Amino acid sequence: MKYKLGSFMVLALMLVMSGCSSSGGSKDGAAGIEDKGTGADGGAVASGADGGTDYSSYSLDDPNSPLSRRVIYFEYDSAEISDSDQELLIQHAGFLVANPGQHLTLEGSTDERGSREYNIALGDQRALSVQRILELNGVAAEQVTIVSYGEEKPAAEGHSEAAWRLNRRVELVY
């Protein structure tokens, strides 16, 4: 119970932080990045304060739901998921467990540096990292499909770290 409450606080904090960083990122023309949850509203979703989160009440259409955050970002040449993103993925896992008919595609991507097929492999590793967390939290294997686009489908155009950090990602596509 305590763990759950803690994780929501981390989540709320993370949403505040991501809200800040995304305002800078959008100047670079970051298309398709969903980042609607503001800190205050995002935290207010934490109905799980009493311990039992009712994931079945989560809606994919609710911009204030943690599920509206559907992009996980990565460091250069890494498939490691940050602690805060792990908490976010636990929310998605809860939703998928509560909705066993729901399907999810994980689209792994990289920045443009390095060779193209290596980047396909790296994007695959990133999507696999996300899938592992979802499955550890009870999501059935059949609910999740992985595809890696490597550097072929950048979210942001450009040849600097500002674009690259937005492109090193896994998109959760419901």
Note the residues at the interface with another protein (CB under 8 A): 31, 77, 112-118, 120-122, 124-125, 128, 146-150, 152-154, 157, 159
d(CA 135, CA 141): 7
Residue 173 Cβ vs another protein, minimum distance, rounded to whole Å: 10
- Choose between 12 and 120: whose C-beta lies nearer to another protein: 120
d(CA 15, CA 10): 9
- Choose between 12 and 130: whose C-beta lies nearer to another protein: 130
The CB density around residue 20, as the number of other CB atoms within 10 Å, is 11
d(CA 74, CA 76): 7
- Choose between 88 and 122: whose C-beta lies nearer to another protein: 122
Residue 86 Cβ vs another protein, minimum distance, rounded to whole Å: 20
Residue 72 Cβ vs another protein, minimum distance, rounded to whole Å: 18
d(CA 95, CA 171): 16
